[in-house]
Amino acid sequence: MSSFDEINGPPSVIHPLPTGGPPPLEIHDMTVAYHKKPVLWGIDLVVPQGKLVGIVGPNGAGKSTLIKAVMGILPLSSGWVKIFGASFKSNLHRVGYVPQRESVDWDFPVNVMDVVLMGRYGHLGLMKRPSKRDRDIARECLDKVKMLPYANRQISNLSGGQQQRVFLARALAQESDLYFMDEPFAGVDAATESAIIALLHELKARGKTILVVHHDLPTARNYFDMLLLLNMRVVAFGPTDEVFNYELLQKTYGGRLTILSEVAEAVRQKGA
């Protein structure tokens, strides 16, 4: 894993987390509905600290909805969520977020540095401007995703992979302990993909917990420590080796297994 070493550059300002204490994420009986139609149903989940968790499932399974509901972007119909043993609102600063790349207008009149600085906004008080220290942190985070030379670029002049790295840098600048990432691998180039993986492992090594919505089943097995198989309900949640099997995947993806059977077959052969 030589590419990981490249990323582990200068010592970080983020201090490693002590282990123990309440779990980073605890969800109890969470139901989320759009226009009275349930999208997620009775979700129970306890995510242990320092894990890299992939959230997989078919289209419309509620993967993005799950992380949005946890962060209070969407309202819950029932149930509760605890972040490090307390409500999301009281632990805001311990949560970082990488939204889907398509969720913003990339013609917006800001440059790369402006976007990354937004990661610091949550830490600033009302009416406070980013300080020099905030700028230093933002610059450091840009450097980690190898985007520092692009700091003054307007964001519409970036490729898809570069845009994704800017979003990652912004999340890093949040200096959080728990990260939610919505399809960070969607439509990125190979270099960005390996840069993201390296970054995720670095974060994990520092005791951070990361939940990643992931679309691509074949790579999910290699990327994540734990998998959450989701299809409106939690089909399975556990270490990747235990959960990534034909029966559970079939349960998650249902009738659409024709696409999947080859993958699952490959998995079985690999596992055998």
Q: Which residues make up the interface to other proteins (CB under 8 A)?
A: 68, 71-73, 89, 92, 95, 97, 99, 103-105, 108-111, 114-115, 118, 121-122, 124, 126-130, 152, 154, 170, 174, 180
The minimum distance between CB 155 and other proteins, in angstroms, equals 9
Instruction: State which residue, 36 or 270, has the beta carbon closest to other proteins.
Output: 36
What's the min distance (Å) between Cβ of 78 and other proteins? 20
- Shortest Å distance, C-beta 5 to other proteins: 25
Q: What are phi and psi of 210, to 5 degrees?
A: -130, 130
Nearer to other proteins, 119 or 217 (CB): 119
Decide whether 40 or 264 has the Cβ nearer to other proteins.
40
Q: How far apart are the first and last CA of the chain?
A: 25
CB closer to other proteins out of 124 and 266: 124
The two tokens of residue 81 are 């969520």
Which residue, 152 or 222, is less far from other proteins as judged by CB?
A: 152
Number of neighbouring beta carbons within 10 Å of residue 87: 12
CA distance 28 to 224: 23
Burial 118-145 (b: 16+ CB within 10 A, else e): ebbeeeeeeeeebeeebeebbbbbbbbb
What minimum distance in Å lies between the beta carbon of 225 and other proteins?
24
Indicate the residue among 180 and 237 with the shorter CB distance to other proteins.
180
* Nearest distance in Å: CB 99, other proteins: 5
Nearest approach, Cβ of residue 272 and other proteins (Å):
35
Could you tell me what percentage of the chain is helix, strand and coil, using 3-state DSSP and rounding each to the nearest 5?
Answer: 45, 25, 35
In the complex, least distance from residue 255 CB atom to other proteins, rounded to whole angstroms: 28
The burial of 197, by beta-carbon neighbours within 10 Å (0-12 exposed, 13-18 middle, 19 or more buried), is given as: buried
Give the position of tokens 């139609």.
Answer: 37
CB-neighbour burial class of residue 19 (10 A; exposed 0-12, middle 13-18, buried 19+):
exposed
Measured from the CB atom, the residue of 145 and 235 that comes closer to other proteins is 145
Whole-angstrom CA distances from 142 to 91, 149, 160, 199, 262 are 25, 9, 16, 12, 39
